């Protein structure tokens, strides 16, 4: 497995791959890897000749300086995991390499960024688009693989890719969960033991919400989900929105045959977790 720290080094490798007509599958990460990330590597290996991952904690997508400071980092372990997973190459730039000067670009997402994560984390998705577009420019992948846990982010990246006319297929891969249902996340390792025992309630509640959709209105279902999780005493719902799968706009009522997604953000102490499930009639 080759490791590159600069875009120039990476560019030589990419040119070599393309000279040999090799397709490139790309998995961008912020490190602190887990089995969810490795599942993306597995998907990339199946669908590409060369699998390349990146590790870079992107400062422009953090609207809370403490969140950036506390984000888990373990590059040595990350590289070991990627090697064992059969990743071919890793791009590990520093901040100066990716942002030699301030990135002032503002992206237009046609409103996809106005609710849920966008509403609660101002500027977050613009920062995501800044770094992902820079990584796409450096890696020039044929396909890029993202986890469905970040449902809204996948939609944002698809929109950005279309807007920039990039010839890249954006592949959304299924959420990978712990045995107790908790969606795998780098942030899970920051949970206290007490909160770790409590957080499986999030997915358990979302699963139940799928069945209750047949008997409750959208508003009633939202209220039930929030009350059920908040009543644990250890968890606090920041938002629970049921949105149209395509527009990401909140729905006011369920329509048979319409694809909807229930998206949630929950605070477990000082750790913020997100998750989602499909909710269709």
State the catalytic residues: 37
Among candidate residues 55, 34, 54, 51, the one with its CA nearest the CA of residue 86: 51
**Rounded Cα gap, residues 279 and 187, in angstroms:** 25
Which residues fall within 8 angstroms of residue 246, CB to CB, at 6 or more apart? 259
Angle at Cα 205 formed by Cα 184 and Cα 243, nearest 5°?
Answer: 85
Determine the longest span between alpha carbons in the chain, in angstroms. Answer: 59
User: How many beta carbons lie within 10 A of that of residue 193, not counting itself?
Assistant: 7
Structure tokens of 242?
Answer: 């049921």
Q: Which two three-digit tokens encode residue 124?
A: 């977050």
Identify the burial level of 233 via C-beta atoms within 10 angstroms of its C-beta, where 0-12 means exposed, 13-18 middle and 19 or more buried: exposed
DSSP label of 194: H
The whole-angstrom separation of Cα 138 and Cα 1 is: 18
Q: Which of 46, 3, 9, 18 is nearest to 141 (CA)?
A: 18
DSSP 72-129: ---HHHHHHHHHHTT--EEE---HHHH-SS--------TTTTSSTHHHHSTTHHHHHH
């Amino acid at each position: 497995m080759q490791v590159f720290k600069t875009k120039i080094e990476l560019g030589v490798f990419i040119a070599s791959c393309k000279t040999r007509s090799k397709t490139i599958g790309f998995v961008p990460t912020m490190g602190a890897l887990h089995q969810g990330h490795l599942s993306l590597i597995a998907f990339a290996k199946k669908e590409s000749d060369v699998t390349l991952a990146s590790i870079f904690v992107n400062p422009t997508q953090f609207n809370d300086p403490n969140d950036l400071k506390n984000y888990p980092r373990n590059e040595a372990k990350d590289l070991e995991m990627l090697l064992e997973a059969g990743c071919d190459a890793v791009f590990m730039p520093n901040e100066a390499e990716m942002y030699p000067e301030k990135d002032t670009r503002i992206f237009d997402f046609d409103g996809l960024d106005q609710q849920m994560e966008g509403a609660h984390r101002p500027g977050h998705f613009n920062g995501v688009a800044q770094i992902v577009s820079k990584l796409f420019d450096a890696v020039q992948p044929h396909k890029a693989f993202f986890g469905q846990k970040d449902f809204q982010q996948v939609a944002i990246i698809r929109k950005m890719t279309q807007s920039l006319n990039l010839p890249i297929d954006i592949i959304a891969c299924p959420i990978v969960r712990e045995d107790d249902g908790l969606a795998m996340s780098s942030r899970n390792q920051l949970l206290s033991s007490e909160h770790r025992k409590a957080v499986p309630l999030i997915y358990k509640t979302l699963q139940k919400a799928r069945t209750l959709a047949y008997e409750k209105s959208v508003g009633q279902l939202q209220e039930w989900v929030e009350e059920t999780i908040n009543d644990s005493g250890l968890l606090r719902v920041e938002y629970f929105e049921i949105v149209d799968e395509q527009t990401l706009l909140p729905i006011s009522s369920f329509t048979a045959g319409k694809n909807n997604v229930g998206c949630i953000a929950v605070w477990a102490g000082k750790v913020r977790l997100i998750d989602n499930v499909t909710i269709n009639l």
